[in-house]
Amino acid sequence: MLRKFTIEEFNKELNKNTSISSSEIRGVVTKICENVREAGDEKLIEYTAKFDGVKLESLLVSAEEISFAYENVTKEWVESLQKAIKNIRSFHQKQVKTSWFETLPNGVIRGKLVRPIEKIGVYVPGGKAAYPSSALMGIIPALVAGASDISIVTPPDKSGLIACETLVAAHELGVKRIYKIGGAQAIAALAYGSETVKKVDKIVGPGNVYVTAAKKEVFGDVGIDMLAGPSEVCVFCDYTSKPLYVAADLLAQAEHDPLARVLLISKTEDLVGQILEELSKQIVRLPKRDIAKKSLSKGSYLVIESDDIAAKVINQFAPEHLELAIEKPFEFLHRINNAGSIFLGNYAAESLGDYFAGVNHILPTNGTSKFSSSLGVDDFVKYSEILYYSKEAMQEDGKEVVILAESEGLEAHANAIKVRCDG
């Protein structure tokens, strides 16, 4: 179960090496990317056979497979999915920015054009499990931003099929191009294109260490969203917290991955005891209890009475998910600078954010919320700055530009102004 840490011990733990991948993984990924870039479909089929255990006849999902998917999900599930889509879309529509222009009195016009990134590739984890929620989180903000060309890559199962739920989710959002490839080879295919796979401008979506290392490898040839690591949660609780709920939320993250990071901050030792007792009761009922046990064995708890100190620890951890299961979460919120997504009160379970409420679950991990944010509409747009000068404005401002340019020794820059002012 969770280990008790002092603040000093926890800070030392945070400072340990948490690099994205080992040199061995990076070497493998570099070779995969090079091979896919050079040999295209041939290597994609070869790697899918090697890593996923299936020899594909086609890399593209067919219309027949989409029909089969709809036949194998329930009406109730589709209805729940559609409600989730509505919530996620409405949340992301609030993020839309528009182009703007301003006209100054001297005839200068300045502004910014907002334009969507046209070609987007979304990585959706798969293979042994279905993650349609990750499809929603990657596709919907791209659609809201105005992306006109969206592709999905997701690994097939041993029979060469994609999870029915993932196919239905993509189809409900109007995505037509779904490729049956996963891992580093899928990222390389999106970055460089192949006979079948269409090259994209930006790649988003979570994946394992090989996927993450591949995104790092191709960055610069294409854009990426972030370098995400294993999932994280921090729960801050007090006497108003419900141990039953807190334990359930800790396990919700722990079942993701043996490397998932779990942190509990409590105001009293007695409350920790109640939560640990609940963890012991609930974990035995989980199908993925072995994964959860490994995660919890590396997890931590701290007893901190002071709100100020608790906030400092949270901001240093900079968790992917932060739950403020305390009496006055809104009053504490202003203390938080670093967190991917924040859940307030006893009833804002993190699972709501994963699936339904509208907030995005593709989030910065490994302390990167100190400088980055959740996936959103801004990740799918780019900005062009606009400038117009009248002749009168040039005459007015030109001498200042000449002075500044000449101070840097850039005479051609200065001359570009002089010829206009003298003309």
Cα–Cα distance, 146 to 183 (Å, whole number)? 27
Catalytic residue among 172, 321, 323, 350: 321
Distance of CA 204 to the CA centre of its chain: 7
- Say whether 165 is catalytic: no
**381-388/109-116 β-pairing:** antiparallel
Sequential DSSP letters for 130-185: --HHHHHHHHHHHHHHT-SEEEEE----TTS---HHHHHHHHHTT--EEE---HHH
Quick check: is 195 catalytic? no
User: Annotated catalytic residue: which of 165, 217, 232, 320?
Assistant: 320
| CA 244 vs CA 138, 227, 273, 283, 354: distances in Å | 32, 33, 12, 12, 20
In the sheet where 381-388 sits, what is the strand order? Answer: 100-103, 109-116, 381-388
Q: For residue 204, which phi and psi values (nearest 5 degrees)?
A: -130, 165
How crowded is residue 58: how many other Cβ atoms within 10 Å of its Cβ? 13
**Rounded distance, CA 279 to CA 253, Å?**
13
- DSSP one-letter string for 31-89: HHHHHHHHHTHHHHHHHHHHHHS---S-SBPPHHHHHHHHHTS-HHHHHHHHHHHHHHH
Active-site residue list = 320-321
